[in-house]
Chains A and B, each alone.
Chain A
Amino acid sequence: MIQKIKKLLLNPWFQLVLSVLFVTTSEVFLKRGAVEAPRLSEEMNWTGVSGLASPDVWYGILFVIASFISWLYVLRFIPLTIAYPLSNVVHVLVPLASWFFLNEHISVQRWCGIALVLLGVLIVAKPIAQMEENL
């Protein structure tokens, strides 16, 4: 059992999935935190430093760090031309999470864009999935 978990954690493709899920979670926390943070002067607002007053921003940062560590592991084993396009499944997951958790509106055009991203990710992922099966 422990061996199986260890093997899973050491799998760069699994770490890629983890990284993407952590990024999505972090974005939802960061948006929530950035909105509720007290407004400082206009110039300070643009730096985002005032956002640090919100606990949600700190949760967001923790998830950013977790995704970053997973991503570094991915970079060691998977070429950027494959790993980076695949990581862009966040452009499907983040709008879905914004819609579900933050009640943001998604227009028809936006849904079409999300579908295109998903198609691109699947095109990159398919030969890899077959390659993994053959191993």
Chain B
Amino acid sequence: MTPVSALLIFVALILYILGQLFLKHAMEDDLGSARFKKNFAVGLSTMTVSFFITLGLLQHFELSYLYPFQGLSVVIISLLAAAILREKLTPRLFIGAALISAGVVLVSLS
């Protein structure tokens, strides 16, 4: 893995996490409101950029190696959803999320 590909993997991950949070926030809103449109547009844009970066990375790495990097997003998204969107994060949900992230990291290290 070169510094460029590491940076691209990182940027794709951050944009993807932001996209999920903005989309979730948007979908809880009144679908006709201006606030929905703004949040939805931001979420869709960051996800689209993340998608094309990932597509470029796929030309250089095996799918089963590359894709699981996004698994780190599980713990991050669960924590941010609880902190920012004020969702309930029970210990059980957090343990589940942590196991998923750990599993995904194990997959990407092998």
Interface residues of A (CB under 8 A from B): 27-28, 30-31, 34-35, 37, 45-51, 57, 64, 71-72, 75-76, 79-82, 84-85, 88, 90-91, 94-95, 98-99, 102, 104, 106-107, 109-110, 112-124, 127
Contacts and interface: CB of A to CB of B under 8 A. Distances in A.
Contacts of B55: 30, 34, 48, 51, 57
Q: Which 4 A-B pairs have the closest CB atoms?
A: A116-B103, A120-B99, A113-B106, A48-B56
Q: Main SS of chain B's interface residues?
A: helix
For chain B, which range describes its interface: under 10, 10 to 19, 20 to 34, or 35 or more residues? 35 or more
A131 B98 CA distance: 22
A27 B63 contact: yes
A80 B85 contact: yes
Q: Main SS of chain A's interface residues?
A: helix
B4 A46 contact: yes
Contact of B87 (A57, A81, A113, A120): A81
Contact of B100 (A71, A72, A76, A120): A120
